[in-house]
Chain A
Amino acid sequence: MSSLPEINVIELLELGVVRIHNRKPGGSASIELKRPPPPASNSGSRLDVIEGRAPDKPMAATPERADKMTAPILEIRNLHARIEEREILKGVNLIIPPGKVHAIMGRNGSGKSTLSYVLAGKEDYEITEGEVLLNGQNLLEMDPSERAAAGLFQAFQYPIEIPGVATMTFLKAAMNAQRKARGEVEMSTPDFMRAVKIAGTDLQIDTGMLKRPLNVGFSGGEKKRAEVLQMALLQPKMCILDETDSGLDIDALQVVSKSINALRSVGRSMLMITHYQRLLNHIVPDVVHVFSDGKIVESGDKDLALQLEAKGYADFDGAAA
């Protein structure tokens, strides 16, 4: 903080660059930067440039500037997580503003999927450090169902099969549980059926499939389409798409991508996690991050993905060290 003596705190507040914390009961208010300055050893600081967030430059409160500074949907700060004794996330920093689509690319075992599970609230992981805010709310204090009600949605790489629970029954229970948690009235059956029909048509999902038990006996493509159907119905603010392209043939990829693109909107952000650049031809991201050894080591625009596709991940391996 001491490096910013000349900047008026109020002005920064308006710009959304700093926020006042007072979340701990009885604790005193503290002021800090929205994104902590990167440690000197961290070369993965290009995110600042991409999002126009270099805090060490003086800023003018122009309308354009203020627009860019709207409160982020998702904010991950110095996130560390471990499973048993193994540290997998080693200081993830990521800010996703409203309406933006970010992609995380990285080789197998780099921790991408762990990041998505930690965000969704899977219990197997222990968070040792850091903070995650969804619309300014502390995500890590919520259980998975509260996260969903707060607007988080994860399309899983391997959706779980639930025998004995009809897909339709599950969809209705999920929609109404979220509405109830937000204090809204439950959806009537005709309204629900209409919503399912509209969302299902785009994804080429017939009602026969929805009468079957959830994900049981679904093909790889059907599972992914069912995930996107849930996303369309639940209308989340922040979507995490984990390897959505895996198991999809070219035609199915087009259908799924089209539906995901249709869900892009000003109030909805997305984080795509993928190995391959292929998906990013269909769903063009605003920002691409390279994930290596538990953190983001490089950020850029969509061309970064092409560069990766051509050269592989080897160039970035050293960057995490």
Chain B
Amino acid sequence: MTVAGLPTRRVESYHYTDLKTLLRVVPPLAKAASQASAPALRVAGAFQLMIANGAIQSSTAAPAGVIVGHAKGSVLSKRDDVLVHLNGAFAKDCLTLTLEGNVDPVIQIDHCTEGDAAHVVDSLKIFVADNASAVILETFSGSDTAHIGNHASYLALGKNAIVTHIMVNLSAKATTHFATNEYALVAGAKLRTLTIHAGAALSRSQVFARFAGEGAHADFTGLNLVEDGQHNDITIDIRHGAAHTTSQEMYKQIARGRSKAVFQGKIVVERDAQKVDAKMMMQGLMLSDQAEIFSKPELEIYADDVVCGHGSTCGKLDEDSIFYLMSRGISKVEAEIMLVRGFIAEVLDPIEGEALNEALNSVVDGWLQGV
């Protein structure tokens, strides 16, 4: 770690999340967990894979089309990023999932960090066969000490595969949460990602995706919820490497108390990737005077026949809207919650499956009521 050093604000991609300042102590690597844990989020009927302190602890019976295994070595492609380097250096063993056909139940991978402060590094590789479909939910939680989690996943979608991948960070207040998700899409693949930050003192979620086949489409979405004392960062890097690929990026950040929310979004369109359509939007909502929201959209386009756009907005709740709702008898607090839910709706509504949608809404409700 000291060889390359932690990135400072002079490193462009860590400009708003200066790890050299924010990360003072790294606890020892985690030992095996001694106690069984319950999943951080309950989704009725889900296939559950429980991971404690980086190792598989238990699972329910795998449904048809799911093969669980493990492999050696790191899962992420080489890239000049400290979290990727660290994960590659420490994760010796990775969990693998091979998904064939239409996997009906939600696949929930629950990461739990128990006991004293520990550095947990784990990695996951998921292969989704051609024409297969699945909904994968990863949840993160654990005991409230200064853990550092560095999680990685590599998800490869086969031809015409349809995948929803949701990451929910519910880590305890004293912890640090890092996650890097890499996606590879070939022709006709359809991906929806959702990153929810609703925990930890410091979080950074990285999404690296590459479109390698025509007709692939992805919706990258996220909800960065930050409250007093938190610093949460979502950084995405989306590469359109094939023609006729489309993506939509929609990230919402809500900050209250003295907190910091960061979104960095980069879309790269490679030279041969003509007819790409990519639209990125970040919307920020500030609920206090001390909240800070940073947003950095970037487009890097080498093809000459594409439609790309980005937008970024930031504001507070609209007084006229609050007044309108109150004039119908709704109390101020309820009116505010209603407006925040309305602000979030376009990110949560597309998630199908009633049980899953309810579980995700409960995360948001929990955060809203924690005022």
Contacts and interface: CB of A to CB of B under 8 A. Distances in A.
A173 B334 contact: yes
A165 B342 CA distance: 5
Categorize the interface residue count of chain B.
Answer: 20 to 34
A121 interface: yes
A174 B324 contact: no
Nearest to A145: B326
A191 B104 CA distance: 36
B5 interface: no
B254 interface: no
Given A164-B341, A173-B338, A213-B342, A234 B329 contact: yes
Interface in B313-335: 318-321, 323-332, 334-335
Nearest to B342: A164
A121 B335 CA distance: 15
B331 to A, nearest CB: 5
A277 interface: no
Nearest to A156: B324
A11 interface: no
A120 B324 CA distance: 10
Interface in B330-351: 330-332, 334-335, 338-339, 341-346
Given A162-B321, A164-B343, A164-B344, A144 B326 contact: yes
A256 B338 CA distance: 28
A160 B344 contact: no
Instruction: Classify the interface of chain B: helix, strand, loop or mixed.
Output: helix
Nearest to A159: B324
A144 B323 contact: yes
A123 interface: yes
Contacts of B326: 121, 143-145, 148
B330 A177 contact: yes
Contacts of A173: 330, 334, 338
B329 A145 contact: yes
A230 B328 contact: yes
B338 to A, nearest CB: 6
A148 B326 CA distance: 8
A99 B145 CA distance: 65
Contacts of A230: 328
A119 to B, nearest CB: 10
A164 B343 CA distance: 6
A178 interface: yes
A149 B319 CA distance: 20
B330 A174 contact: yes
Contacts of A147: 327
A165 B341 contact: yes
Contact of B332 (A143, A165, A178, A181): A143
Contacts of B339: 162, 165
Given A120-B323, A147-B327, A173-B334, 5 more contacts: A160-B318, A160-B320, A162-B321, A162-B325, A163-B342
Ordered nearest first, which 6 A-B pairs have the shortest CB separation?
Answer: A164-B342, A164-B345, A148-B329, A178-B329, A144-B326, A174-B328
